[in-house]
Amino acid sequence: MTLPVDVLFEPYELGACRLRNRIVMAPMTRKRSPGGVPTEQTVAYYRRRGEGGVGLIVSEGTFIDHPSAGAIDPPSYVDIPHFHGAAALKAWEQVRKAVHATGAAMVPQLWHVGEVRQRGMGPDPATPGLGPRRILAEDGTAAVEAMDADSMAATVAAYARSARYARELGFDGVALHGAHGYLLDQFLWPEANDRQDSYGGGMANRVRFACQVVAAIRAVVGPDFPIILRWSQWKMTDYNARIAAAPEELGEMLGALVTAGVDVFDVSTRRFWEPAFDGSPLSLAAWTRRLSRRTVIAVGSIGLDQPHQSKKFRDSATIDAKVTDLDRVVEAMNRGDFDLAAVGRAILSDPAWVEKVRAGRMEEIRSYDRAALENYF
């Protein structure tokens, strides 16, 4: 480290909540909630990160109350927590209380996987996936149904219900998973959205469904409850994907979402510092901050150095990453490129990462490897 990290430890006002610093724990799927219900291990997992000094915790993705929201297979989606149902909500309230007791704030991330779920997947194999387009299985039946007005309305209502639960349970806001090739992102991405109606075509149409979700949430949580939207250009299936080809198109998308009620944009990139568009050095987070004039969270390899291009996040040949300095983060925040810095794998590996950074004990931080990914604590 050559630069002081003071900017990371400045308080930040988020809605009615005052964050103790500008470090966010990024959402990371953990697959440790049998039947969709978080356990005592879940409580301990989040409590430890709060005790480590993080300012805001965004939970792992949680399925909303809709039969097509998630699946129990393929294995990547087993034991994902729900944010509906008495048992799951009671468990999440215990998580929230434990995190608040450490001085950290917390929001749940709401998730619908869209066309990633297909007919034949559990828990109800008869339920097809839902998305912007219809996808046929090998036998000619619909594995995924294109959403119509009724299924859109039901899904929007499910998002709003889970957001209302978040407020009732005492969380500090709500986050939406609108990135990486899941439902909201599928509507935004031209490669997945070939609709010929008012939800397809240009950006004004492609962003319409996400705006309806946000507006419905705003209507039930009120004006002072922060809504965070995670978005990305890249997808799990295509690292080179683009929702917005140019800043003008990005501005159209962000403006619509701000009007609908988004307070914070969580900008997911694989490397937060890389330029977003040709002809400009600005990162995607910096462009989002400039165009939206809203709070922006940057995420992508903060605190870690992964010198080669990893093909897949869980690829055993490429998963290890070394601890690196935070000079790039500090420089970007001092420029005003973004407001908050989200840390994922580094905090997964070392729950005390924030406190060690604050105290200048970088040499004590554990590096990231497969054991960190698999270890729940």
Catalytic residue (choose from 45, 77, 159, 182): 182
- C-alpha distances (whole Å) from 305 to each of 44, 235, 369 are 28, 21, 12
* Cα–Cα distance for residue pair 7/50, rounded to 1 Å: 19
Neighbours of 140 (CB within 10 A): 6
Long-range contact set of residues 223-226: C-beta below 8 Å, sequence gap at least 24: 224/15, 224/16, 225/15, 225/167, 225/173, 225/174, 226/14, 226/15, 226/17, 226/107, 226/172, 226/173, 226/174, 226/263, 226/264
Report yes or no: 343 and 26 within 8 Å, Cβ to Cβ: yes
The yes-or-no answer on residue 182 being catalytic is: yes
DSSP helix/strand/coil, 72 = coil
Pairing status of strand 135-136 against strand 142-146? antiparallel
> Between helices 40-51 and 86-101, what is the axis angle to 10°?
20
* Cα–Cα distance for residue pair 265/244, rounded to 1 Å: 15
Comparing CA positions, the residue from 267, 274, 271, 269 lying closest to residue 290 is 267
* Cα–Cα distance for residue pair 174/159, rounded to 1 Å: 10
Phi/psi for 65 (5° steps) reads -85, 70
DSSP assignments along 280-336, one per residue: ---BHHHHHHHHH-SEEEEESSTTEE--S--SSTT-TTT--BEE---HHHHHHHHHT
For residue 123, whether the previous peptide bond is cis, meaning omega lies within 30 degrees of 0, is yes
DSSP helix/strand/coil, 162 = helix
Catalytic residue list: 182
